[in-house]
Amino acid sequence: MNVREQAIARFLQADRPLDCDEGRRLGCGTYCCSLIVRLAPDEQDPGAKDQNAKHCVDKDPETGRCIYLDSEQSCCMVYDRRPRLCREYDCRTDPLLKVVLQEGFHSLPRLVTSPLLDEDRH
């Protein structure tokens, strides 16, 4: 394993505390902020009518990233009150993150068809 692969393997160890700064240095590109975040029923706007109710966190139309991502600081602007899914999500258990770190995140079709995912499935 080269130095980068060792660093990625160390980052993905779930028994260590999650270090988002380390992940960004490795190139995750704030991967989690590109995911679709469904809001739990108690997190949805109770004033919205059913057909207009938002069930997901909005994305920036230009970047596809969460609207709460401070792109200059690479941090969440609502961290203390972020949705439950964001609080519970651990990227290190997501097989797609391995692909993101090793190949880069260029497009969702490329990501989900990566041969690296096949390695994790076996």
Break the chain into its structural domains and give their ranges.
1-31+90-122, 36-88
User: What pLDDT sits at residue 105?
Assistant: 63
User: What pLDDT sits at residue 83?
Assistant: 93
More confident residue, 87 or 115: 87
Mean pLDDT for the stretch of residues 15-43:
83
CB atoms within 10 A of CB 68: 19
Q: Where are the beta strands (DSSP E) in 10-97?
A: 69-70, 75-76
Summarised one tens digit per residue, pLDDT across range 38-49 is 998 888 877 766
Rounded to an integer, what distance in angstroms lies between the CA atom of residue 79 and that of residue 77?
6
Place of tokens 């076996």: 122
Amino acid type, 101 = L
Query: Where is average pLDDT lowest: 24-33, 45-54, 79-88?
Result: 45-54
- Residue 85: pLDDT band (50, 70, 90) is very high
The values of phi and psi at residue 70, to 5°, are -85, 100
